[in-house]
């Protein structure tokens, strides 16, 4: 199991201080200025970016070290984000309701739980709201330029097609590109973008 507090205990931002390129590319699918939850937000690069674009942002992550760095990033950019340190699996998803939910590289959900987790995220997204997910596909194991070394934690188009109705899916695309996101995500990468209108 990854010790995220230890990984984040470096001076630099492990995945950089700028948002994931996929989030910038897909931002137009989000409800503008909506009430937005960023899950497994890490050191805040994505939550801070969204707050700077006028979204009302709540961000969660289990790492206290990441949360301290995220708060510092938000302060340095003069934006407000409601940061909550919480284990993803301890959150009562039935009480959550957001216009947008954003999950970038939250690749810690075991295969026997991922479909249930995706259903929870869908039900926590307001009707007409947006669920945006970005992460690695199985080809990333060979590329080894970031992410867990565990094939069972990768996302595929088929995984999302199994959970979401065709009419809900706006984007479900696997591709490869060069990433340069801190020292954590660097080099040719096998990626997937997924957007659903729930």
How many helices (DSSP H) and strands (DSSP E) are in the chain?
A: 7, 7
When asked if residue 66 is in the footprint of ligand SAM (CB under 6 A), the reply is: yes
When asked if residue 136 is in the footprint of ligand SAM (CB under 6 A), the reply is: no
CB 117 to ligand SAM: min, Å: 10
Residues 6+ away with beta carbon under 8 Å from 99: 30, 31, 34, 35, 36, 125, 126, 129, 130
Closer residue to ligand SAM (CB): 161 or 188: 188
3-class state of residue 9 by DSSP? coil
CB 197 to ligand SAM: min, Å: 22
CB 50 to ligand SAM: min, Å: 12
Q: What's the CA gap between 20 and 42, in Å, rounded?
A: 12
Closer residue to ligand SAM (CB): 46 or 172: 46
CB 127 to ligand SAM: min, Å: 26
Q: For ligand SAM, how many residues bind (rule: CB under 6 A)?
A: 19
Q: Please, are residues 158 and 88 in contact by the beta-carbon 8 Å criterion?
A: no
Q: What's the CA gap between 98 and 17, in Å, rounded?
A: 24
Bridge partner list, 84: 60
When asked if residue 59 is in the footprint of ligand SAM (CB under 6 A), the reply is: no
When asked if residue 61 is in the footprint of ligand SAM (CB under 6 A), the reply is: yes
The correct pick among 57, 101, 104, 191 for binding ligand SAM (CB under 6 A) is 104
When asked if residue 106 is in the footprint of ligand SAM (CB under 6 A), the reply is: yes
Q: For residue 6, what are its two tokens?
A: 């230890």
Residues 6+ away with beta carbon under 8 Å from 166: none
When asked if residue 62 is in the footprint of ligand SAM (CB under 6 A), the reply is: yes
Q: What's the CA gap between 31 and 135, in Å, rounded?
A: 21
When asked if residue 63 is in the footprint of ligand SAM (CB under 6 A), the reply is: yes
By CB under 6 A, name the binding residues for ligand SAM. Answer: 4, 15, 20, 40-42, 45-46, 61-63, 66, 87-89, 104-106, 108
């Amino acid at each position: 199991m990854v010790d995220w507090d230890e990984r984040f205990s470096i001076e630099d931002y492990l995945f950089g201080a700028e948002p994931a390129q996929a989030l910038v590319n897909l931002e137009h699918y989000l409800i503008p200025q909506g009430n937005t939850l960023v899950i497994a937000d890490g050191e805040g690069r994505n939550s801070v970016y969204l707050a700077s674009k006028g979204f009302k942002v709540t961000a969660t992550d289990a790492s206290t070290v990441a949360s301290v760095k995220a708060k510092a990033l938000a302060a340095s950019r003069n934006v407000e984000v409601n940061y909550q340190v919480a284990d993803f699996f301890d959150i009562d998803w039935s009480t959550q309701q957001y216009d947008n939910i954003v999950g970038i590289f939250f690749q810690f959900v075991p295969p026997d739980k991922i479909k249930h987790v995706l259903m929870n995220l869908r039900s926590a997204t307001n009707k007409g709201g947006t669920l945006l997910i970005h992460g690695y596909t199985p080809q990333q194991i060979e590329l080894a330029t970031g992410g867990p070394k565990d094939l069972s934690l990768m996302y595929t188009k088929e995984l999302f097609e199994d959970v979401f109705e065709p009419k809900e899916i706006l984007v479900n695309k696997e591709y490869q590109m060069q990433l340069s996101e801190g020292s954590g995500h660097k080099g040719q990468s096998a990626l997937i973008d997924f957007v659903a209108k729930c």
